[in-house]
Structures are given as structure tokens and as C-alpha cells.
Structure 1
Amino acid sequence: MDASIAFVLSIICYIFYRTVFTKREPEVRISKPTGVIYAIILGFGAGGISSLWLNGVYIIADYSPFLAKQVKGFDSLYSDMEKGPYIWLFLAIVVVGPIIEEILFRGIIFSSFENATRSSWFPVIITGVMFGIWHGSFIQGVYTAIFGMILAYFMKKCRSLVFVAFAHGINNLSGTLPPSLDTDFTNTLLNVTSYVCILPTLAILYHLHRKSKKITN
């Protein structure tokens, strides 16, 4: 039922987004294969950044009652989510969730701030922060805010909700494996891949920045 409601809402939000906001030209034109590759790298790279943050939090939590409490709530959140059938978890976190969140945050909200301000960076930062707050907990809020800024910047450059939602789905999939693949080997492989993709992620963002400046000049 939740997945069905979210799917219907995503259609309504998308129609609203396309009706209200004028489609802007991309600052950097990239091909579909390149956009898919960028999305995969950004999704994994953001996961690597999130892992660095989480590892640091778990270490510091031993010395901070505040973080210890946050860690306990964060762990219970994911243990509760994993109790249901995997198919609904997959649809909610990997498919429907990223689609509706991207339409809302990198579509409607991002476009609203772009229309309301002349600053090119304010919409990226504010929608990222809002995306972090949307996730509730302090621990999750920090890394989702960073991820939200990465996605907003990617949207700013390519103007493709498809690429951005795909990057979001890849990021969520790496932490939402089916039970048959949720093994120590697979998780280690994904963690290594995420860490390896951090530098390529930064390189892609820098490349998009430099390329858009050259086109502008």
C-alpha cells in the first residue's frame, strides 16, 4: 500500500513539476551512456563518503553520550526496516523512494529556489540541507545532506532527473541487498568499491564545473 501510494504521488509530483517549471538547458551536455556511468560512480562515491562519516561516528560514539544515543536510534531504524519482505524494501528504498525524492527535492524544490534567487550555489546547498533534515536523525541527516548537495549539483549541470534518480537508487541499493547477496564478501566488495569511487566522484564534479565554465566563457 505504501509503495502504491508513493508511486501515485510521484506521478502527481512529476506532472506538477513539468507543468509549473520551465525546463532549463543543461550547463553541460553529456550523452546517455556517460550520464549512466557518472550516476553509478556518484552513487557509489557518495556511499563511500557516507561510510567514512559513519565509521567516524561509531568510533566517537564511545566517548559521546549524544552520539551513542543517535547510533542506537540509527541502528534500530534499519533493523525495523529489514523485518518485512525484501521486495517491498527494494521498491521503497531503491525504486520508488529515489524517484519521488528526486522529483520533490532536485525537481520542485531545487527549481523553486533557482527561480527565487540569482545565486547559483544557494539552491544546491539549501536543498541538500533540506534533504538531510528530511531524513530525521542527526547521523543520517549529515551524510544525506552531503549526498543531496552532490545530487543537486549533478542536476544543475545535466538537468536530468533520470540520471540523478539513478545515482540515488545506486547509492541506496548498495546498502539494501537481497538476503541471498547480503554476505560479508559482497558487503566488503561494495565497501571497497564505494571507497575507490570517492576520488572519481570528486573528479566528475570538478570536470562538470570546469566544462560548464569553459562553455560559459
Structure 2
Amino acid sequence: MKKAGGYLKSPLPLIVMLLIQFGASIIMLLRYIVLYGLEKGTQLYSGETLSVVFIADMMALGVMGIWYYAGVVNRKKRLEIPKEQSLLGAKDVGLLVVLAVGMQFAIGMLLAVWNLFSPELIEEYSNMMEDAGIGTQGILTVLAVGIIGPITEELVFRGLSIEYLKRTGAAFWVINVLQALYFGIAHLNPVQGAYAFLIGLICGYVVMKYRTLWAGIAFHMAFNLYSQVQSGLTDALDSSGLLEGAAGAVVLIILFLVGIGFTVFPLIALHRKFLPESINRE
């Protein structure tokens, strides 16, 4: 029964988070309709997607923070379960930042390949991201996408869901795949869900190996924040003309190799760090 309970509880944080997001959206929509009427209110609401995301994230952060403290932190204190020693150091944070940049390159290549086979899905995804204001620059984007969102999602998936799955006694890979699957489902579209699953696998891996939720938060923040920087860099390269002709091909090849290096080398370093003998030495 205890194992079954852990599996049944593990998707609950996802469900509650989605309900909060849905509730915040409905409340904001009704507010605009009451103030401005149905047609104008709906139009104004459609232009405030990022604000809705921010409000929903703040609400979810409060709920999940209390839930995590009561269900994980306080429970361990009450049951006198020893706190795991974190293995995360300053160099490790740097490694996670490099990996986050590399994963942005890797996912960019994945989406480029996907676009060859299903351009309509990629176009739909791009329009959705644009409507949500994800690619825009600004304080609200940084707060919602780069800071509040990652903390909230790490509490949900790598904090609560992983904790419930650990109580089942399941193998490491089972726990990691399930929580990453929940993370992919949370994004509610196939394109973003697919790469969110990959990001979820990495976040789950580093949280469980480094023995601290801060590892996932550091990687997740770096990944989301770099997406804001990357859009600016892409625009700058396009306007500079460096991507045109033969020189442009060389630049793209260099960027491709850098992206591969930023992805592969951190993954190798993480694998070596967490070999059993390496952990024992620490």
C-alpha cells in the first residue's frame, strides 16, 4: 500500500499546479470581461499572457513552497530522517550553467530537424511562444520565465514528485523517467513537452546525484535565462550579416561545434563525478 500510495501521490503536485494555472487564467479573463466587455476584454486578455503566467507562477510558488516544507522538510524533521549532505559546489554550478547553454543548442538542433518533418507543429509552437511573450525582453519575462517559473517547477517535479516516488523504493531510472514525464505533460503541447522531458531528465539526475534541489534550480534557471540571451544574440547575428554566404556557413559550423562541446563535456564530467568511487572519495 505504501508503494502504491507513493505512485498515486506523485502526479498530484502536477495536477494542483495545472489547476492553479487554469484558475488564474479564468480569473484574469473574467476580470477583463467584467471591466471591458466580452469582445474587448478577450482581446486585452490575449495580450496579457505573460502577466497571467507570472501571477499563476507566484500563486503556485506559494502553494508548492508550503506543501514542500510541510510534506518533505518538516516530515523529515518529525521522523528524524538525517538530512543528505549536498555535493553541490561553486564549480558544479558553473558546470551546470555550461550544460544549460549546451542544451539550448541541442534543443535548437532538435527543433530544426523536427521542422523538416512537421513544419506545421513547429510553426504552431513558435506562434504559441510568441503569443505568450516568452521570447520578449523585459523584467517580467526574466522574473516569470527565468526565476519564479524554474523555482516553482523544481519544487513541483524534483521536490515533491521525486520525494513521493522515492518512498515507493523504485529504481533511480524509474523515478527520473516518471518525474520527467510529468514535467513534459505540464507544458501541454507536444513540441515543448518533448524537450521539457529531456530537460526534466537532466534536472532529476542532478537533483538526485547532488542531493539538493538547488542543483535543479541552478540548471533550470540558467537554461531559461539563456533562452532570453540567445534570442538577442540570434537577432544580432542576423542583423550583422555574419550568417550570410560562405562566412555564414563557417559561423554556423563553429556554433554547432561549440554547442556540441557545451553539451557533451559537462555530461561526461557529471558521469565521472558520480561514479561510485568518485562519490566515495568525496
- Same fold flag (TM > 0.5): yes
| 2:99 partner letter | L
> Could you say which residue in structure 1 is the equivalent of 2:21?
none
User: Which of residues 155, 161, 174 is equivalent to 2:207?
Assistant: 155
> Could you say which residue in structure 2 is the equivalent of 1:75?
126
**Structure 1 Cα separation of the partners of residues 228 and 194 of structure 2:** 19
> Could you say which residue in structure 1 is the equivalent of 2:198?
146
User: Which of residues 114, 117, 124 is equivalent to 2:176?
Assistant: 124
| 1:126 partner letter | L
> Could you say which residue in structure 2 is the equivalent of 1:91?
143
> Could you say which residue in structure 1 is the equivalent of 2:71?
20
Indicate the RMSD between aligned Cα atoms, in angstroms: 3.0
User: Which of residues 154, 162, 184 is equivalent to 2:236?
Assistant: 184
Distance 1:84 1:157, change over 3 A: closer
**Structure 1 Cα separation of the partners of residues 137 and 223 of structure 2:** 20
* Larger relative contact order, structure 1 or 2 (CA cutoff 8 Å, min sep 6): 1
Range with bigger deviation, 73-82 or 202-211: 202-211
Name stretches of at least 5 consecutive residues in structure 1 with no aligned partner.
61-66
Distance 1:55 1:206, change over 3 A: same
User: Which of residues 87, 90, 93 is equivalent to 1:29?
Assistant: 87
| 2:127 partner letter | S
Whether the 8 Å CA contact 2:272–2:278 is kept in 1: the answer is no
Rg (Cα) greater in structure: 2
**Structure 2 Cα separation of the partners of residues 212 and 16 of structure 1:** 36
> Could you say which residue in structure 2 is the equivalent of 1:198?
263
When normalised by structure 2's length, the TM-score is: 0.64
**Structure 1 Cα separation of the partners of residues 113 and 230 of structure 2:** 27
> Could you say which residue in structure 2 is the equivalent of 1:64?
none
Give how far 1:29 is off. Answer: 2.2
Deviations 1:52-73 (A, max 9, x none): 211111122xxxxxx2331121
Aligned length: 208
**Structure 1 Cα separation of the partners of residues 186 and 64 of structure 2:** 17
Whether the 8 Å CA contact 2:57–2:148 is kept in 1: the answer is yes
> Could you say which residue in structure 2 is the equivalent of 1:43?
100
> Could you say which residue in structure 2 is the equivalent of 1:59?
116
User: Which of residues 101, 108, 115 is equivalent to 2:160?
Assistant: 108
Deviations 1:26-54 (A, max 9, x none): 5x7242x1231122122122222212211
Name stretches of at least 5 consecutive residues in structure 2 with no aligned partner.
1-50, 77-81, 239-251
When normalised by structure 1's length, the TM-score is: 0.81
> Could you say which residue in structure 2 is the equivalent of 1:215?
280
Distance 1:180 1:125, change over 3 A: closer
